[in-house]
Amino acid sequence: MIKNKMITSRDEDFAKWYTDIVKNAHLASYTSVKGCIVFEPYAYALWENMQKVLDEKFKATGHENVYMPMFIPESLLKKEAEHVEGFAPEVAWVTHGGVNQLEERLCVRPTSETLFCDYYSKNISSYRDLPKLCNQWCNIVRWEKNTRPFLRTREFLWQEGHTVHETAKEAEEETYRMLNIYKDFFENYLAIPVVVGKKTEKEKFAGAEYTLTVEALMYDGVSLQSCTSHYFGQKFSKPFDVKFSDRNNQLQYVYQTSWGTTTRMIGAVIMVHGDDNGLVLPPRIAPKQVVIVTIKNTDEVLQTANNLVEKLKAAGVRAFIDDTDKSAGFKFAEHEMKGVPIRIEIGPRDLAEGNVVLARRDTNEKITCTVDEVNDKVAALLEDIHKNMFETAKKRNDSKTYVCKTFEEAKEIIYSRPGFIKAMWCGSPECEVKMKELRGMKSRCIPFEEEHLSDTCVVCGKKAKHMVYWGIQY
């Protein structure tokens, strides 16, 4: 397969490769405001497909969508000290309304815990009101210093769930349930293998009792925190006075959770699956799953293309026809750039024998089949493409996951061939800080199923308490 000249090789310059794909696949455009992008139609269609799947899963577990204001009064934001301290460096403030200075500054929503708590404090009175299972699809503003499309932008799209429960047990079950929904989505829709576990105390969400996380590894060995689920306990309900009358008619504070993911999932799909010819999209969230490319626009070719596209659509396949007058080679490259999972080539020569050609985007393999076989072949291929994409990414992750027993081993790996490093840890924040000296490496998570790699901490040599996944991050 000839490499697309518009794209820098990912092995030569991964950052430039990423930018080239974002630009040439028409996913995003830069704007006059640093760190803010235009989501072009193709990227927004990707987000809509992701949103649709997750929204259905949330609603199937009893959650309802709401919408909160995007402005938060400073006094409200300050009610939970640890929370505001964690977000203070990234907050954007509104100080004027028209020409008049506001009496109180308004924070532009960096996250909505405080808004939900304020709402719940006014709308929950009895255990009969519980649980309250809410989710919000909205935009968020965080004043990032270093920005990159989809991965870190000053404004981005996300969903954030905020739930309220009668007991700690119910809230903790919710925290784990939502994490498992994210894990399932990444593996069974995005074809991205992930590591799940608990964040260390130092890396947890500001204001949470604990944070659970989904961590993915990109092609270049850099990790991406992809989704998080937080157990708040009563750390927000007490300062915000969110109480309910329990079954004994006694006032109690509620137990809360929060969980979310963002449009950085688009960045993850690019960086895990893309190649030197552009996007490679997982079939289950691809805006278009099949493109029918006409080689010559004869009556027979066009009639066959139209018949096929109607049959595919009737079978639930997102298919379309490219019968433009561009050259076949140009059309092939264009749809490869956009990562369309299957290309069907229809030309007079093959049709004379009753055949068409199917091309897989993931492996570039071409398959000849009869016109009558197309629907069955496409259905089987879409499943096989997802499976192959997941297994390819999993095999690469395994090859980029290393066991380190000494600080020197960790140093050598992270500087020469980054990936996930599995190493034992004593539980000391000082050792976490020491690890961060190695290219900014952080603890990614303590996996739910820990391995016993050695008895001693990778940093200090003292008795180890946990096995931790470490890595550098986007």
Q: What is the pLDDT of residue 321?
A: 98
CA angle 420/153/151 to nearest 5° reads 25
What is the CB-side half-sphere exposure of residue 156 using CA atoms within 13 A?
A: 26
Q: What is the pLDDT of residue 102?
A: 97
For the whole model, what pTM was predicted?
0.96
Q: Domain spans of the chain?
A: 14-273, 290-381, 401-471
Q: What is the pLDDT along the chain (474 residues), one digit of tens a residue?
A: 567 889 999 999 999 999 999 999 999 999 999 999 999 999 999 999 999 999 999 999 999 999 999 999 999 988 877 777 877 889 999 999 999 999 999 999 999 999 999 999 999 999 999 999 999 999 999 999 999 999 999 999 999 999 999 999 999 999 999 999 999 999 999 999 999 999 999 999 999 999 999 999 999 999 999 999 999 999 999 999 999 999 999 999 999 999 999 999 999 999 999 999 999 999 999 999 999 999 999 999 999 999 999 999 999 999 999 999 999 999 999 999 999 999 999 999 999 999 999 999 999 999 999 999 999 999 999 999 999 999 999 999 999 999 999 999 999 999 999 999 999 999 999 999 999 999 999 999 999 999 999 999 999 999 999 999 999 999
**Strand ranges inside 277-393, DSSP E:** 290-294, 319-322, 342-346, 355-360, 366-370
HEC-encoded secondary structure of the chain:
CCCCCCCCCCCCCHHHHHHHHHHHCCCEEECCCCCCEEECHHHHHHHHHHHHHHHHHHHHCCCEECCCCCEEEHHHHCCCHHHHHHHHHHCEEEEEECCEEEEEEEEECCCCHHHHHHHHHHHCCEHHHCCEEEEEEEEEECCCCCCECCCECCEEEEEEEEEEECCHHHHHHHHHHHHHHHHHHHHHCCCCCEEEEECCCCCCCCCCCEEEEEEEECCCCCEEEEEEEEEEECCCCCCCCCEEECCCCCEEECEEEEEEEECHHHHHHHHHHCECCECCCCCCCCCCCEEEEECCCCHHHHHHHHHHHHHHHHCCCCEEEECCCCCHHHHHHHHHHCCCCEEEEECHHHHCCCEEEEEECCCCCEEEEEHHHHHHHHHHHHHHHHHHHHHHHHHHHHHCEEECCCHHHHHHHHHHCCCEEEEEECCCHHHHHHHHCCCCCEEEEEECCCCCCCCECCCCCCECCEEEEEECEC
Q: What is the pLDDT of residue 348?
A: 95
Domain 401-471 has CATH 3.30.110.30: yes
What phi and psi, each to the nearest 5 degrees, are found at residue 419? Answer: 180, -155
Measured distance CA(356)–CA(350) in Å, rounded: 6
Q: Which CATH number fits domain 290-381: 3.20.20.140, 3.40.1110.10, 3.50.50.60, 3.40.50.800?
A: 3.40.50.800
Task: Give 3-state DSSP helix, strand, coil % of the chain, rounded to 5.
Answer: 35, 30, 35
Q: What is the pLDDT of residue 82?
A: 77
14-273, CATH topology level = BirA Bifunctional Protein; domain 2 (3.30.930)
Q: Cβ atoms within 10 A of the Cβ of 143, count? A: 16
Q: Cβ atoms within 10 A of the Cβ of 160, count? A: 21
Tokens of 44: 């927004």
The strands making up 92-97's β-sheet, listed across from edge to edge, are: 71-73, 100-108, 92-97
- Is the peptide bond prior to 287 cis by the omega test (within 30 degrees of 0)? no
14-273 and 290-381, same CATH topology: no
Q: How far is CA 454 from the centre of its chain?
A: 33
